[in-house]
Structure 1
Amino acid sequence: MSLVLPTEDWPEADWAMWTALRAQGGPLDDRGALAHLRATSLKTLRIRYGRWLGWLSRTEPDALSLSPTERADLPRLEAWLEDLAHTAPMTRLMFVEGVIRVLSAAAPDADWVMHRRLRGALKRDAGRGDPARKRGRIVSTKVLLEAGLRHAGPHADAAATPLEAMKRRRDGTMIALLALMPMRRRSFCELTLGQSVLLMEDEIIISLSEEMTKTGVAWEAPVPPQVEPVLRRYIEDVRPYLMARGNQDHARLWVGKKGEVIGQNHLGSRISDLTLQLTGKRIPPHFFRDAAATTLARLSPDAARLIRPVLGHAGFQTAERHYIHAKTIEAGRDYAALVKSLKGRKS
């Protein structure tokens, strides 16, 4: 039996609640409280809430006849947490936080004080996750940059076939670009020529719209000069070669060996495998962000101040969010200028 109750099996009250929360609204209808979320965020919340309903259906099916808010009392949530004791603290936090977020959005006037205290306790218990997961796997930006440039240059030149050479130039370009412009995997995969990748005579601009970032904050910066030549070569030579092999016609930046769009999972595995091969450490795309933060922090206290807006981290307070919104593009350009100084520095 699946741990997540499929939406078609949800109680009618829960499905009606979920539908109302996602409603886009209209001239005469209110917009749902979660309608502003992206599809990926809604899917995550749906799975977490479905996990809660799945547990109830197995352990206390009679509770499904209660209203969604009534059945989510503290004793039941604490009993659920006991059943989740085999999972990591961060996992328990994410499940309970998802349920509380859905229900508090549906019933904002209900008393959620004790639920939020429970969430706070789980946050303290979870801390920042399992540090062992990243221990020894965060290398400097310079190491990643040099590995990418080597793969796109000398390694590609030594390839046995033209196709292998093109694939190495593509892969090395991806690693080098991520090293200096760390972005989330989804945003990286969705880069599109003419929209988020602007090719100009003297520079290439990466421009992420609000829809392409997790925080809903636009981000823009020129591609640093260390990477610009290999990215331009990929766009002008490598990508057309691969596109022609599959007779493809689309504008996505990263393509497979027959010009097909590269999916997030494939890209993540590819980057992880290549970094293991090139650096001796398996580094998935999201660890490039940690590498950038670590590198900035080591450069100087002033450089460390760029970490938050460069990585697109937004706080919970509205004032902080607006501050980041105003500073993000400026910080992206400052970061692009700062990484120029990495050339020649020791890692």
Structure 2
Amino acid sequence: MADKKILYGDLLRRCLPLALWPAADRTAWDSLFVEGDILDGTVGPGAFWKPTTQINYRQSYGRWLTFVIGQGLLANNQEAPWKRVTPERVAAYLAQLVEQDMSSWTIWGRMAGLLCLIEAMAPKEDFGWLRRIVRYYERQTVDRRKKAPRLQPSHIMLDWALRHIENAQHRAVQHVGDRAYRNALIIGLLSCCPVRLANLTMIEIDRHLVRLSTGYVLRFAPNETKTGHLFSAPLSRELTAPLDQYISVVRPRLLKGPSHARLWVSERGTPMSGRTIHEAVTVTTEVAFGRSINLHLFRDCAATFVALEDPEHIGIVSPLLGHVDPRAAERHYIEANQIVAGRRLRSSVAQARKILPPSKGKINK
């Protein structure tokens, strides 16, 4: 059993590494990835999980084990992992996460990861009560995020990006201008091609970003996308010249060491990590539009823009975002109709107020 001393202090917030998991838990984890034979059903449920999915589930379960061990709830190394997941213990676990001031989004992620992994380990057990908890925090996450006020029309964001790309070239301090140019270019790319963070991070020149005579195309192989489908989309022609300038002039200045193929380069000359890109995007958009726009919100912005401005072509949303289920596009169409209805209502109310007679007397409070 892992030494409880390693869990004290700040380490109480961390995810227990796989090497320190109890023997029964490591065995259960390994059984999820048995290759087996797909025809006779002996393939482990995790055999087809993407590496990012494996990492998310492993971290969520590791955080659960940190709680279990820290609370002295680990009876022995051979106890079946799913036997420890009880409503009482999960309630105490949730209380600890809340006490640590975790956001509803983070709590939802930890609980969803725990649910998915424990159901994979014990498919015959009933964890409906845990599924209800996950759904509750999912709703809380949506409510608290209040996405609508943060959405920006795609053409507005592209226009902002192009103007700031131009301004960045005239900054007095070159490295500040190069960083501003790069960040504005990322915003411009996302405004017309809102790819997921993992794909945005991995972009390599001449592999994912390909220069054609008509402009640039962004391509990802099936094994590089979340859905497992090929993704290929042309970028706005207005980004062609800025991308040419970035690749030939700005990017080489950002490189301070050995060259690499990754498109986005940090101030240290290394490939930008997903976290660094996320911070650059959220900070830049907060300054630009008054509210931060994360990577996933760019996808909502694009879908809502199409639904509002070009509803006859709402069908382009699913392939644009790499969705397999067209119901995702339908949801944005419904939301856009609600926005239009709200606009019309506000206009009608404003017009009606103009013809009201002057108010007589005071309103009773």
Match of 1:100 among 95, 115, 119: 115
How far did residue 135 of structure 1 move?
4.9
Alignment of 1:301-312 (within 5 A): 301-312=311-322
Query: Using the alignment, how far apart are the partners of 1:93 and 1:25 within structure 2?
Result: 32
| Contact in 2 for aligned 1:77/1:96 (Cα 8 Å) | no
Asked whether 1:278 is paired with 2:291, we answer no
TM-align CA RMSD: 3.2
1:215 corresponding residue in structure 2:
227
Alignment of 1:115-264 (within 5 A): 115-116=127-128, 118-120=130-132, 122-124=134-136, 126-127=138-139, 129-133=141-145, 134-153=147-166, 155-243=167-255, 246-257=256-267, 259-264=269-274
How far did residue 125 of structure 1 move?
5.7
Distance 1:25 1:237, change over 3 A: farther
Q: SS of the counterpart of 2:227?
A: coil
| Contact in 2 for aligned 1:64/1:71 (Cα 8 Å) | no
How far did residue 209 of structure 1 move?
1.9
Match of 2:56 among 27, 41, 44: 44
After TM superposition, the score normalised by the length of structure 2 is 0.73
Query: Using the alignment, how far apart are the partners of 2:77 and 2:86 within structure 1?
Result: 13
Structure 1: gaps spanning 5 or more residues: 325-347
1:336 corresponding residue in structure 2:
none
Partner letter of residue 267 of structure 1?
I
Higher relative contact order (CA 8 A, sep 6+): 1
1:335 corresponding residue in structure 2:
none
Query: Could you list the runs of 4 or more consecutive aligned residues of structure 1 that deviate by over 6 angstroms after TM superposition?
Result: none
How far did residue 152 of structure 1 move?
1.0
Count, aligned residues: 312
Q: Which of structures 1 and 2 has the bigger CA Rg?
A: 2
Q: SS of the counterpart of 2:149?
A: coil
How far did residue 222 of structure 1 move?
1.0
Q: SS of the counterpart of 2:233?
A: strand
Query: Using the alignment, how far apart are the partners of 1:211 and 1:128 within structure 2?
Result: 33
After TM superposition, the score normalised by the length of structure 1 is 0.77
Query: Using the alignment, how far apart are the partners of 1:267 and 1:33 within structure 2?
Result: 32
Distance 1:173 1:20, change over 3 A: same
How far did residue 117 of structure 1 move?
5.3
Partner letter of residue 273 of structure 2?
G
Match of 1:71 among 44, 60, 84: 84
Query: Using the alignment, how far apart are the partners of 1:55 and 1:97 within structure 2?
Result: 16
How far did residue 217 of structure 1 move?
2.5
Q: Which stretch of the first structure deviates more once superposed, 80-89 or 295-304?
A: 80-89
| Contact in 2 for aligned 1:57/1:64 (Cα 8 Å) | no
1:18 corresponding residue in structure 2:
29
Query: Using the alignment, how far apart are the partners of 2:310 and 2:299 within structure 1?
Result: 17
Q: SS of the counterpart of 2:218?
A: strand
Q: 1:77-131: per-residue Cα shift (whole Å, max 9, x none)?
A: 45545655656665554334322322332343x243xx13541464156327243
Query: Using the alignment, how far apart are the partners of 1:45 and 1:222 within structure 2?
Result: 34
Partner letter of residue 242 of structure 1?
L
1:342 corresponding residue in structure 2:
none
Partner letter of residue 160 of structure 1?
A
Asked whether 1:299 is paired with 2:309, we answer yes
